[in-house]
Structure 1
Amino acid sequence: MKAYQAYLIDLDGTLYKGDEPIDGAKQFISYLNQQRIPHLYVTNNSTKEPKDVVSKLQTMGIEAKEEEVITSALATAEYITELTPGASVFMLGGTGLSKALTDKGLVLKEDEHVDYVVIGLDEQVTYDKLATATLGVRNGAKFISTNQDVSIPKERGFLPGNGAITSVVSVSTGTQPIFIGKPQTIIMDMALDILNMDLSDVAMVGDLYDTDIMSGINANIDTIHVQTGVTTKSEIEQKDIAPTYSFKDLNEVINELEK
């Protein structure tokens, strides 16, 4: 296996499952920190702030910094700001998204007369919120969704994800949003710009083929699949475009890097 100069790393299914760390996660990040190899955590989760992600990792003994965390909320705020600084936004979502937007100087409004409608995972979503979002898009607001994940793993099982919520507005308006998170290149471009390295020196590490691995493929970087989450080894073998590597877990990745 090639030793890369930097890594983009998924979280859920790669470093942990729910609140439980995955064997090899702490060791892999410790290896990167000891070798001073740059790495960023790239997540589609728009509900959490970077400090929340760091706090969770630290409870698992994984050392991380806020500036190493790239969420779909941060990428969304960056994307809108580059196009329309100071824009008005109606959003569905949690504190991670609202803070990311306001920190960039974007103005949150509670009506449909806005420049942008942004959909993030909102576990308190209501018909009225969906109605306002729908009217905003019909009024000409640019339509953005933090990610297209149709389901998310929870303790009760797979529950509706942001893509499912977004689809309500899409179906009602006949308008498809711009998706920001993995496997789209917008969030990956932001992460790669931060690393500022040759694409051949960077690899994407993740468990889920449709988001993590495809995000790397779409960004033209190598991919490292770990068999600790959603996509199994047998499923990977059926894909038309295979990841660059597939390993049982991050312990195997470390072993390869130390050869």
Structure 2
Amino acid sequence: MGEGITIKSLLIDLDGTLYHGNRMIKGADLFISQLRTDRIPYAYVTNNASRTPELVAEHLVGMGIEAVSHEVYTSALAAAQYVAQQSPGARVYCIGETGLRQALTEAGLQLVQEQPDYVVQGIDRQFTYETLAAAMRWIREGATFILTNPDLQLPSHDGLTPGAGTIGAAIEAASQVKPVVIGKPSSVLMNYALDRLNIRADEALVVGDNMLTDIAAGAAAGCKTALILSGVTTQANMEEHMRAVGVKPDLIFENLDELQDWIKEELK
């Protein structure tokens, strides 16, 4: 696979692709180091809306993977830009953590508790019934419902925990309004990253472990895609996942070493 593919930049997923929780996936540090050595542009693109880019970079560096904050594009940043472009200075009821709140504020949006123009929701580990009731009320009264990412579950050191999508499902059920989804598998986050890197979609290779999010988002944005069988999608469920999203990856690799070998061949 992969004949005729030419890339100028990589959009790289994090959890399941470069690490599992707090454990680096074998070869991730060398893979990123080689991209830097070869001066191949790349960005870290994550559905995680709870951490700021600075904290994401710290997390990577703590595992031995080179990173700086300006290389990190999160669903929180993309959501903030989306709202700011739609309605500069809008009033936002934020359901989320530090990364989302900071992104919204830095985009010039007003964080409010009453009469918002938008309800923007990410992961919120302090989510309460009262928050659900408020979100339901504002959305039913006309506020636009924005969901940073639809991930139903998140990996943790204790196993899986509820993700932003689970909270979003509760708000959708209560309000009977579907959200605008920013993160993968939506193309919005990918388009945000492409704009920031100032490259065309057909010049980018999306690298990820999840057919249902990473690869689906890359395909939706018009990028080439590389599936790494190190996380959610495996040899056992790959065909099922392809049928579920109706797309196939352009490239499939067992691990990052195989992807690195392919890139070396492309550079010859």
What is the deviation of 1:29?
A: 0.6
How does 1:206-245 map onto structure 2 within 5 Å? 206-238=208-240, 239-240=242-243, 241-245=247-251
Q: Could you tell me how far apart the structure 1 residues matched to 2:85 and 2:44 are?
A: 22
Asked if structure 2 preserves the Cα contact closer than 8 Å seen for 1:91 and 1:133, the reply is no
Q: What 5-or-longer segments of structure 2 have no aligned partner? A: none
Which of 81, 84, 87 is residue 84 of structure 1 equivalent to? 87
What does residue 39 of structure 1 align with? 42
What does residue 9 of structure 2 align with? 6
Corresponding pairs, count: 258
Provide the secondary structure at the position in 1 that maps to 2:127. Answer: coil
Q: Could you tell me how far apart the structure 2 residues matched to 1:122 and 1:227 are?
A: 29
How does 1:89-128 map onto structure 2 within 5 Å? 89-111=92-114, 113-128=115-130
Q: Could you tell me how far apart the structure 2 residues matched to 1:56 and 1:20 are?
A: 10
What is the deviation of 1:3?
A: 5.2
1:181 and 2:187 correspond: no
Q: What 5-or-longer segments of structure 1 have no aligned partner? A: none
What is the deviation of 1:198?
A: 3.0
Q: Could you tell me how far apart the structure 2 residues matched to 1:56 and 1:248 are?
A: 24
Provide the secondary structure at the position in 2 that maps to 1:86. Answer: coil
1:70 and 2:73 correspond: yes
Q: For residues 218-240 of structure 1, what are the alpha-carbon distances to aligned partners after superposition, in whole Å with 9 as ceiling and x for unaligned?
A: 11111111111111023223424
1:144 and 2:150 correspond: no
Letter in 2 for 1:19: N
Which of 147, 172, 175 is residue 170 of structure 1 equivalent to? 172
Q: For residues 134-186 of structure 1, what are the alpha-carbon distances to aligned partners after superposition, in whole Å with 9 as ceiling and x for unaligned?
A: 11101111111101111111222222111110111111111001010011011
Asked if structure 2 preserves the Cα contact closer than 8 Å seen for 1:213 and 1:223, the reply is yes
- Aligned-pair identity in percent equals 43
Instruction: Give the TM-score of the pair, scaled to structure 2.
Output: 0.93
What does residue 30 of structure 2 align with? 27
Q: For residues 39-71 of structure 1, what are the alpha-carbon distances to aligned partners after superposition, in whole Å with 9 as ceiling and x for unaligned?
A: 111100000000001111111221112111110
